[in-house]
Each structure stands twice: as structure tokens, then as C-alpha cells.
Amino acid sequence: MNRSATSAAGAESRFLKALSGEVQTVPPVWLMRQAGRYLPEYRELRARAGSFLDLCYTPEFATEVTLQPIRRFALDAAILFSDILVVPHALGQEVRFVEGEGPRLDPVASLSEFARLREEIDLGFLAPVYETVARVRAALDPEVALIGFCGAPYTVATYMVGGRGGDEQAAARKLAYREPETFQALIDRLVEASVAHLLAQVRAGAQAVQVFDSWSGDLPPAEFARWSTEPIRAICAKVKAAAPEVKLIAFARGAGAKLADFAAAVPADAFGLATAENRIAARAAVPAGVALQGNVDPIALVAGGAALDAAVDGVLADLGHGPLIVNLGHGVRQETPPEHVAQMVARVRRG
């Protein structure tokens, strides 16, 4: 292949072709949380880095961790190794990752606590993240795409208000019901911060960006429209206006019956589907020519064998007649045998 004829824009990339609406015999495949503790080489580097945040903010380490799954599995896309909670961190909120427990933040649960946040995201604080993007882009083959990301404002707000995950995001939902103006101000600030953070990743070399809304699926329809759909719509519209070439993936995990309204409003190039989504209904709910991404059960990936092959075949059969990016319905689980990822990639490419 004449590599000089292809640019970092990825003319050969199956992943970018799917995001342009192309239907392909062999669709692209990557996995949410494809870097992480199921890989021994990740665990080794994580131990050397010290804390999870040190790993995220040291370009040498974050670059290496981003590339680990690409080397092993020849996936179609790399995703920047970082976390959605670097955005509140760069807004001035204290963020820690407690070993074995997950993220802990000093909660922003009132107007006075909200007032202590920065008005604008400190992009200088996140310079190591953008340097990681540039290093990864330079290291990847042209046909492997690089994905940047952010958390959706609602999901990020649930951690900012509750100080941690879990409990059905009740702290954020209570604030949204009791003080909708305060919650709206927080969401608006996160929209602007997310746009700035995504555009900085695009300037550094990300060709696509994914917005992860992990927790909005639990919201009733009216709250979902206000706190999930509208802020993600605004982010996508602003990113498209500033960088028309960048591809956008919106993943509202568990949107279910709310997907049709979400997809009608949000100007994304692909929509992610969670594990439990009905794929046929989802295809009908999303405008023609827009790609779908998903939704192999991460637990079938743990199980492997014939069950994994059947899970992959189900996605290909149900969605392969349209633009498709094969992925999981949520992130790779820690107990996943790495060989099963190789099996999944081989099954997708067998056609």
C-alpha cells in the first residue's frame, strides 16, 4: 500500500468511512475501555505510574496505554486514555481516584459551592492530555483513527454534585428538581468546558470525538430531554461549527425509547447503543445514513466461545446493512481474557 498517498486524515480508515455513512462488508471495530486493567501490560504501567491521575497526566505513560490495545488487536480506532473527570478537575474541583472504590470529588451541591468553580476550563492544566493526543496520532498508522472524548454534562454533573458515582445519581437529580437554575448553570458551564476540551483534542489530532452519557438513561423523558439531549445537541452543534471535518459519536447509554427524539435533535454522525437496546428498533429510530455503534454484551466478551461469536454475529446481522461500528454495549470488564478480544476482532473481520 502506498502510505504516502494517505494522510493522517485517514483516507483508508474503515472507522471514518462508517462515520461518513458508508456501508462496508467488513465494518470497523473498537471497544469502549479497550485500554485498562484486563491487560497485564496496563497493570504493569499503572503500578509504575502511581495514581490513576498520574497515568492520565503523564503523556509518555498515557500514550503508551492508549497504544497497548492497538498493538495487541489491530483495532480500527484508538481512544485517548484519559477520564471524563479531568473536566471538573480543570474547572477547579478536587478530584481523586480511590483504589478499588472509584472517583471521589469534593461535592458541588449548592450555589455557593458552584460559585467557587472556574468560569472557564483551564486548558493549560490539561496540556498533558493534548500532548498525549498529538503523540498518539504521530505513532498510529494512518488507517487507524484516533478518538477523543468527554463525558456528557449530565453524567459529569452527577459526579460533581454527588462527589462519587452510584445511588442512582440521586444527589444530582435532587438538585435538578429543587434548584433547577443552579443545576442549569452547572450544565451550561459544562457545555462550554466540554466544547473547549473537545476542540483542543481535535486541534491536537483527534479525528472523531465521543460524548459519553453513562447515566442519563435513568431519567424520565422530560428530564432526559432537558439534561441529556439539549446539552449534547449544543456540544455537537458547537463542535461541528468550529471543526466541520470532525466526526461525532453520541452515546446516551440506555436511552431506549427516548433514542428517536435524541437522534432527531443531536447532529451526530453515529449513535452508540447500550447492551440492552433493541437493535432493530434503534435502526428505525435513527435517521438513514447515520451510523450505529455497538452493542455486543461485555459479559459475552468475558464468556468467549460460541456465545461471543453468536453475539458478534447478531450485531452484524441486525445492523450490518447500514453504516456500523462494532463495539460493546458498555466498557470492557476487568475480568475479560484478552484472547477473547482477539476472537471478537477476528469474528468481525472474517467476512
CB-wise, 103 or 163, nearer to ligand 1CP? 103
Q: Count other C-beta atoms under 10 Å from residue 274's C-beta.
A: 21
List the interface residues with ligand 1CP, window 80-139 (CB under 6 A): 81-85, 97, 102-103
Residue 36 touches ligand 1CP, criterion: CB under 6 A: yes
Look up 159 and say whether it is catalytic: yes
Dihedral pair phi/psi, residue 75, rounded to 5°: -70, 160
Q: Which stretch binds ligand 1CP (CB under 6 A): 34-42, 130-138, 188-196, 299-307?
A: 34-42
Q: How far is the CB of 105 from ligand 1CP (least distance, A)?
A: 11
Looking at residue 333, the DSSP 8-state letter turns out to be P
Q: How far is the CB of 107 from ligand 1CP (least distance, A)?
A: 15
Residue 227 touches ligand 1CP, criterion: CB under 6 A: no
Q: Which stretch binds ligand 1CP (CB under 6 A): 3-11, 79-87, 138-146, 320-328?
A: 79-87
Look up 188 and say whether it is catalytic: no
Residues ≥6 apart with Cβ < 8 Å to 14: 24, 26, 27, 28, 76, 143
Q: How far is the CB of 300 from ligand 1CP (least distance, A)?
A: 17
Q: How far is the CB of 33 from ligand 1CP (least distance, A)?
A: 4
CB-wise, 36 or 153, nearer to ligand 1CP? 36
The H or E element spanning position 157 is helix 153-162
Q: How far is the CB of 210 from ligand 1CP (least distance, A)?
A: 7
| 89 assigned ligand-binding residue | no
- For residue 247, the SS3 value is strand
Looking at residue 148, the DSSP 8-state letter turns out to be E
C-alpha cell at 290: 447515520
List the interface residues with ligand 1CP, window 300-339 (CB under 6 A): 331
Strands 95-98 and 102-105: antiparallel
Catalytic site residue from 46, 135, 137, 347: 46
- For residue 121, the SS3 value is coil
Q: What is the rounded CA–CA span in Å between residue 99 and residue 287?
A: 42
> Of 61, 73, 212, 262, which one interacts with ligand 1CP (CB under 6 A)?
212
Look up 42 and say whether it is catalytic: no
The candidate with the shortest Cα–Cα distance to 169, out of 181, 157, 177, 185, is: 157
Look up 137 and say whether it is catalytic: no
**Nearest residue (beta carbon) to ligand 1CP:** 165
Q: How far is the CB of 264 from ligand 1CP (least distance, A)?
A: 24
Q: What is the rounded CA–CA span in Å between residue 274 and residue 217?
A: 10
Catalytic site residue from 14, 33, 233, 253: 33
| 35 assigned ligand-binding residue | yes
Look up 46 and say whether it is catalytic: yes
Residue 221 touches ligand 1CP, criterion: CB under 6 A: no
Q: What is the rounded CA–CA span in Å between residue 132 and residue 145?
A: 15
| 51 assigned ligand-binding residue | no
Q: Is 269:20 a contact under the CB 8 Å cutoff?
A: yes
- Strand ranges inside 187-320, DSSP E: 208-213, 247-252, 270-272, 291-296
Q: Is 117:91 a contact under the CB 8 Å cutoff?
A: yes
The candidate with the shortest Cα–Cα distance to 66, out of 166, 162, 137, 8, is: 137
Q: From the annotation, which residues make up the binding site?
A: 33-37, 83, 159, 214, 330
Query: What residues act catalytically?
Result: 33, 37, 46, 83, 159
Numbered residues of the known binding site for substrate? 33-37, 83, 159, 214, 330
Write out the residues near ligand 1CP by the rule CB under 6 A.
Answer: 32-37, 46, 52, 79, 81-85, 97, 102-103, 149, 151, 155, 165, 212, 214, 331
